[in-house]
Chains A and B, each alone.
Chain A
Amino acid sequence: MESTQDSGRGAGKVPLVPKKNMAGEPSGNEDSGKAQFKIDIFRGWCKCCGICAAFCPRQCIRLDEEGSPQADCRKCTGCGWCELHCPDFAISVRKIEDAGRTTEDRA
């Protein structure tokens, strides 16, 4: 599971539809032919307002006990609603091909 930590964290309590392609399984990605997306949340600027979690059309973002958004990118279609509406510019949605680079960037 070289999938990102974000998706791992969210997965615990979210009853996700256990379907074909889990993000991070390379074969799944190629087979489905669907673009995979990655939601990055910049914690330094996030104020935990909850707008992203409330309006995500695929419920990819959940709030944890502290109200902090946790992203599970498996159902993300890359619509970018959260990115457009984040009042603090703390969300960035990008295609999975540069997902490796993203995690390094964040660290």
Chain B
Amino acid sequence: MAEATKLIHKYLRHDKKFPHVWCPGCGNGILLGSLIRGIDRTGIEKDDIVIVSGIGCSGRLSVYVDFNTLHTTHGRALTFATGIKLANPKLNVIVIMGDGDATAIGGNHFIHAARRNLDLTAIVVNNNIYGMTGGQYSPTTPYGAMAATALYGNIEHAFSIAELAVMAGAGMVSRGTVYHAAMLDDLIEKAILRRGFAVVEVMSHCHIQYGRRNQMGDAVEMLRLQKEAAVRAEKAAQMPAEEMMGRYTIGVLADRELPVYTEEYEKVRKSAKEMMQLVGKAESGDLKAADKRRKREAAGEADNAEI
């Protein structure tokens, strides 16, 4: 198994400061490992991969990996990624976002990227809170939970990111947890290889900002909670609704063949090109005729002048 560690080191930027910036026991570190293993399994060259990240704890991830990377503004990771993909469709673009990044400030970009079925891989790290900025509640903080800006309990209801993406029309949607790291490797690998918008919601934990305020214990306890709350999609289908209360499904939740935006866009470009060529031919024909007429007239005028 030492190969696993060797593999990780193959993809890390060793000129960056290690150990990384995340708190002890943070799920982002486990996700980083899974992401690297997932990418390695696809066999795609380092230079053909672009990692785009937004702002937040998860945004730091792009700093540590040795691919083409882009650390963008808050919530706009998907818009930058859209630009990259459309400019060079050959690149494999992987977007890392936090829950606040993807569903609050970048919520509109998220649902529209899913609706368009852009050929991107979106990894949304859901830790139920804004960790880096001090524990403000996010769109995925559960109802009643405590946060720095919800001292009497959160009165808003949480988004379910994966289900949101399914409804918005993403090609592939899956959910994993950092506790089930081996499964997460598979989900990330599948998502990268999948054409179309592939979302992986990664259930992570923030024991510093969220766990501490909600008496959920440290990283170890929060990983145990993930183990208890996660139910495989196949098993969940057979479970009564009452038992699923407070739990979530993991695995591939949606996998469907839909027209991919980049390919559709290429078709439009092709048809537009053909149309323009036709128009160009017609116009240039007219222009030549007009040119000849003008020349003839000019010659005639010159003749007249000479006389």
Contacts and interface: CB of A to CB of B under 8 A. Distances in A.
* Interface size of A as a range: 20 to 34
Nearest to A42: B5
A90 B20 CA distance: 11
B34 to A, nearest CB: 8
Interface in B4-46: 4-5, 8-9, 12, 18-20, 22-30, 32-33
B30 to A, nearest CB: 5
Contacts, number: 78
A15 to B, nearest CB: 22
Contact of B223 (A46, A55, A83, A92): A55
Contacts of A88: 19-20, 24, 29
A84 B218 contact: no
Interface residues of B, number: 29
Given A49-B219, A51-B25, A94-B1, 9 more contacts: A44-B18, A49-B24, A84-B33, A89-B9, A89-B33, A90-B19, A92-B2, A92-B5, A93-B1
B5 A91 contact: yes
Interface in A9-48: 37, 40, 44-48
B220 interface: yes
Contacts of B18: 44-45
B91 interface: no
Contacts of A85: 30, 178-179, 181, 223
Contacts of B258: none
Contact of B220 (A37, A54, A78, A90): A54
A44 B20 CA distance: 11
